[in-house]
Structure 1
Amino acid sequence: MSTNLAERVANKRNGARTLATQPNRPEQTPTLVQFVQRLLPEIKRALPEHVGGADRIGRIALTELRRVDHLAECTQESFAGALMTCSALGLEPGGVSGEAYLLPFWNKKVRAYEVQLVIGYQGMIKLFWQHPLATGLDAHTVYEGDEFAYEYGLEPKLRHVPARGSAKGRPTHYYAVARLANGGNAFVVLDVDDVEAIRKRSKAKDFGPWATDYDAMARKTAIRQLFKTIPKSAELARAVAHDETVRRDASAEGLDTPGEYFEGEIVEQAPAAVEDVPAEFSGWPEAAEQPVEPAAQ
């Protein structure tokens, strides 16, 4: 053992570097950072004409790699698939916008993390408005103190008078209403048990947007059920097909193939410590910005 202090410090530093390269801490983050940079030309081609800024999508993706624990350990194929799906649909990934979420998923079959794409409440609404027949879309929460009545059948009816302040009470129902330019309209009502049954089937049922924005996700659930009964744009149909799935094919053709569901578990999300942020992030403009937690919708 060396008695020289400088030599002991250097040995300790070298030992720490050796530990950082062990299998339980793979050096995946720098690879994914470089991978995002190489994807930029494909992202630019995939973005719809009304959505600009491949660089912005790239910066958001890098922020998510830093913000979401284990996301940087996901396979490149699934990360690219989720990012290309967001780009083709014109949705911003990440919790700030509420349009789409990139969540790490442990695939027990291949023993690797993969990215599951969850389309958010704002994303579903954004895509609905791209349909030429769309004239209105509403989604609301019903509370115990509200006046609320609905009826299905040949003459469906829906009436909701919200209560104010402390008279609201707890949520009892969630509903979505769509109005179309041809005069048609439709609505779907879910009670809290309906929403819970759907939430429990989600692999992200205990964290992510279900934990941070439960009310918005409950309304999104009503919207998604409503979309089964009304005309959908091609983009909206693709979003519904890829929602909460893993896409491993980042090619243009992969967007027309629904992603896969399989057994596994979503990994709990936690912010990365500042000292864990790799130096490679500093090379991208605005990549080092502090993430903003998503606000409830």
Structure 2
Amino acid sequence: MARTQGNGTSLESKIQSKAAGNNAPAANPSQTIAAYLKRMESQIAEAMPKHMNIERLSRIALTTIRTNPKLLECSIPSLMAAVMQSAQLGLEPGLIGHCYIIPYGKEATFIIGYKGMIDLARRSGNIQSISAHEVYENDFIELTYGLEENLKHVPWFLRKDSKPVESGKIIGAYMVAKFNDGGHFIHYMPISEIEAHRKRSKASNNGPWVTDYTEMCKKTVVRAGWKWLPISVEIASAVTQDETSRKDITPADDSFIDITPGESDENNSSESAGENSDSKQVEFE
């Protein structure tokens, strides 16, 4: 089990001092992070579910970190913790929207995306299907609760009773889960409730709330209805801790890594570039 360390500065300082003592150029942040990821691969692999591959996760994580300059400024322990959380839940950070690694000053934080939440719910084995949709002001939506719940949603561009020329603003979002026993669950949230949740989030003004607002609206409604889904305690706990807790981790032996800038970083860069090229082909469903 990895030791917890609150600040990665001392480890990074050791690396820089080592390089200076050898009259070698100091390792850049990208090289340092790549070296720590390589060092921790065995620890991360132990936490991963069988369907994941440690080499692929390492490349994707490194690409995600390298393409965000603010993440390169984050502490090593917080970055390793975010990657470890991603591995434990079997989710990949990046364009697919399973999860995100968001910088808060010098600290990196792991955040689950709505697609990641849906993937976790499906893995429980008790859910037949689960989906989430945003609702625009020019959509037609009719929802009734009671002994016989009913939901009808017609997107603005498919309406036959009128012909709106645009979607209008998002006015809410809903999720529908169908259980294997024949039951179902519907949860709707107006945009006022979604925005209230956003204001309580540390990432309200950066990260996916800015770059993927629609996806975050859907995530919010899925998360709000999470407690009603038949899922394991472990998965439920992982989701409820999302955006609220983080543990710093470093290699198990608490040692620093001697990094020589040059060939290894070039190799890692080419690998991450290839992975990034693959990732760009994946769009939101």
Q: TM-score, normalised by structure 2?
A: 0.75
Partner Cα distance (1:212, 1:146) in 2: 23
Structure 1 position 142 matched with structure 2 position 135? yes
Which of 1 and 2 has higher RCO (CA within 8 Å, sep 6+)? 2
Identity of aligned residues (%): 37
Instruction: Determine the structure 2 residue equivalent to 1:33.
Output: 34
Structure 1 position 281 matched with structure 2 position 261? no
Q: Can you give the 5+ residue segments of structure 1 that lack an aligned partner in the other structure? A: 1-17, 19-24, 107-112, 252-277
Contact kept, 8 Å, 1:117 with 1:245, in 2: the verdict is no
Partner Cα distance (1:206, 1:26) in 2: 32
Q: Can you give the 5+ residue segments of structure 2 that lack an aligned partner in the other structure? A: 1-19, 21-25, 159-164, 251-260
Instruction: Determine the structure 2 residue equivalent to 1:63.
Output: 63
Partner Cα distance (2:98, 2:91) in 1: 6
Change (3 A) 1:246 1:116: farther
Deviations along 1:175-205, whole A, 9 cap, x unmatched? 0011101122111111111111111211111
Instruction: Determine the structure 2 residue equivalent to 1:22.
Output: none
Q: Counterparts of 1:202-221 in structure 2 under 5 Å?
A: 202-221=201-220
Partner Cα distance (1:55, 1:145) in 2: 46
Change (3 A) 1:191 1:162: same
The one-letter code matched in structure 1 to 2:266 is S
Instruction: Determine the structure 2 residue equivalent to 1:79.
Output: 79
Give the drift of 1:235.
5.1
Partner Cα distance (1:145, 1:241) in 2: 33
Instruction: Determine the structure 2 residue equivalent to 1:10.
Output: none
Secondary structure of the residue aligned to 1:98 is coil
Structure 1 position 133 matched with structure 2 position 126? yes
Instruction: Determine the structure 1 residue equivalent to 2:50.
Output: 49
Give the drift of 1:167.
5.0
Instruction: Determine the structure 2 residue equivalent to 1:14.
Output: none
Deviations along 1:16-48, whole A, 9 cap, x unmatched? xx9xxxxxx995443222111111111221111
Instruction: Determine the structure 2 residue equivalent to 1:6.
Output: none
Change (3 A) 1:154 1:219: same
Alpha-carbon RMSD across the aligned residues, in angstroms, is 2.6
Secondary structure of the residue aligned to 1:286 is helix
Partner Cα distance (1:78, 1:29) in 2: 15
Instruction: Determine the structure 2 residue equivalent to 1:182.
Output: 181
- How many residues end up aligned between the 2 structures? 240
Q: Counterparts of 1:145-294 in structure 2 under 5 Å?
A: 145-164=138-157, 166=165, 168-234=167-233, 236-250=235-249, 279=262, 281-284=265-268, 286-289=271-274
Instruction: Determine the structure 2 residue equivalent to 1:21.
Output: none
Partner Cα distance (1:74, 1:39) in 2: 17
The one-letter code matched in structure 1 to 2:157 is R
Q: TM-score, normalised by structure 1?
A: 0.73
Change (3 A) 1:139 1:168: same
Give the drift of 1:154.
4.0
Instruction: Determine the structure 2 residue equivalent to 1:15.
Output: none
The 10-residue stretch of structure 1 (58-67 or 232-241) with the greater mean CA deviation from structure 2:
232-241
Change (3 A) 1:46 1:146: same
Give the drift of 1:246.
4.2
Secondary structure of the residue aligned to 2:81 is helix
Give the drift of 1:240.
0.6
